[in-house]
């Protein structure tokens, strides 16, 4: 039994009055502490699958199990980091990071203590009282990651969190993300359309076919960390994945 299991997940969307199959019976078993990356073309359904795990979409059939227990609604055991961060502009960085703790009714001193730890981990301490409009895109994503980590979720779900970043910032965050994963031993499912990113981060990379989405190929990546995007030893993995992905782009 894995930490998180997806069993035969199917999902349809209405499009021009027709039922369009988006997820085609996806089965996935993620072990505790795994870093699973999902790559696929834009609009292939990979984000829908992640949102289904998060409980933000309801599958038309199949189920999601966490520690063997079926899940129905969204909840803080599976925290999502959104593509654009989805930070609250009316709260400063610290209050954003503490949001989930606050709605859980955790007292202020305890909240401050927890948020301090993660702000420190994400190198945000000096920005604790800044508002989001004062932050760069990279900083915002750091806050979004800190906000997710304070919840200490069983599974961290990341939906193309680095897609809008410039290459330098992205490379930096890719290294940091690996260190965070090693430090916190979190189970992470990370969706991206960037193959190099997936190869650097993942212990396992899943290639999704274009609509309807299915797991087309699984690639295990057993290589030292922290990995860098320009490491030539990672190129064969990238090639293998790209070879699977290329026919999907044409669909």
Partner 1 sequence: MKPNVLAKKIGFYALIIIAWQGIDSAEIWPDNIFPSPFEVLEDLAYGISDASLFFGIGTSLLRLVIGLGIAIAGGLVLGIFMARVETVNQTIGSLVLGLQSIPSIAWVPLAILWFGLTDSGIIFVTAIGAIFAVTINTYTGVKNINPSYIEAARNMGAKEGQLIITVLIPAAFPYIISGFKQGWAFAWRGVIGAELLFSFLGLGFLLNVGRQLNDVSQVIAIMIVIMGIGILVDGVVFKRIEDKVMTRWGLR
Q: Which residues bind partner 1 (CB under 8 A)?
A: 54-56, 74-76, 78-80, 82, 84, 86, 88-91, 99-100, 102-104, 131-133, 147, 151
Shortest Å, Cβ 88 to partner 1: 6
- 78 and 153 in contact (C-beta within 8 Å)? yes
Between 51 and 216, CB nearer to partner 1: 51
CB of 191 vs partner 1, minimal distance in Å: 15
Token pair 């610290």 in the structure block, residue: 94
CB closer to partner 1 out of 28 and 151: 151
Smaller CB distance to partner 1: residue 132 or 141?
A: 132
> Minimum distance from CB of 83 to partner 1 (Å)?
8
Residue carrying the six token digits 């400063």? 92
Least CB distance to partner 1 at residue 224 (A): 33
Structure tokens at 54: 């998060």
Give the torsion sign (CA, 75, 79, 83, 86): positive
By C-beta, is 6 or 151 nearer to partner 1?
A: 151
Output 164 or 175, the one with its CB closest to partner 1: 164
What gap in Å lies between CA 242 and CA 251, rounded to an integer?
Answer: 15
Helix (DSSP H) and strand (DSSP E) numbers for the chain = 7, 10
Q: What is the C-alpha separation between 211 and 100, in angstroms, rounded?
A: 34
Closest CA to 78 of 23, 153, 173, 182: 153
Q: Which is nearer to partner 1, 17 or 89 (CB)?
A: 89
What's the distance, Cα to Cα, between the start and end of the chain in Å? 35
What whole-number distance in Å separates Cα of residue 85 and Cα of residue 137? 9
Least separation, in Å, of the C-beta of 223 and partner 1?
32
How far apart are the C-alpha atoms of 151 and 141, rounded to whole Å? 16
Residue 111 CB, nearest approach to partner 1 (Å): 13
């Amino acid at each position: 039994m894995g930490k998180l299991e997806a069993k035969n997940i199917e999902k349809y969307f209405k499009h021009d009055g027709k039922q369009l199959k988006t997820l085609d019976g996806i089965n996935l078993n993620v072990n505790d502490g795994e870093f699973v990356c999902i790559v696929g073309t834009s609009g292939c359904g990979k984000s829908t699958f992640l949102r289904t795990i998060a409980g933000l979409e309801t599958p038309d059939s199949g189920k999601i199990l966490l520690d063997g227990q079926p899940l129905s609604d969204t909840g803080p055991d599976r925290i999502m980091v959104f593509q654009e961060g989805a930070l609250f502009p009316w709260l400063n960085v610290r209050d954003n990071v503490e949001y989930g703790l606050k709605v859980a009714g955790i007292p202020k001193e305890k909240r401050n203590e927890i948020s301090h730890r993660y702000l420190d981990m994400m190198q945000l301490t000096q920005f604790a009282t800044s508002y989001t409009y004062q932050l760069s895109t990279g900083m915002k994503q750091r806050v979004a990651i800190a906000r997710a980590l304070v919840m200490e979720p069983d599974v961290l779900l990341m939906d193309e969190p680095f897609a809008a970043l410039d290459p330098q910032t992205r490379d930096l965050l890719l290294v940091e993300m690996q260190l965070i994963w090693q430090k916190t031993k979190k189970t992470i499912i990370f969706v991206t359309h960037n193959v190099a990113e997936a190869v650097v981060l993942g212990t396992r990379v899943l290639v999704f076919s274009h609509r309807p989405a299915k797991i087309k190929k699984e690639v295990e990546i057993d290589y030292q960390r922290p990995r860098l995007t320009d490491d030539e030893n990672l190129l064969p993995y990238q090639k293998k994945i790209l070879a699977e992905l290329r026919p999907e782009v044409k669909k």
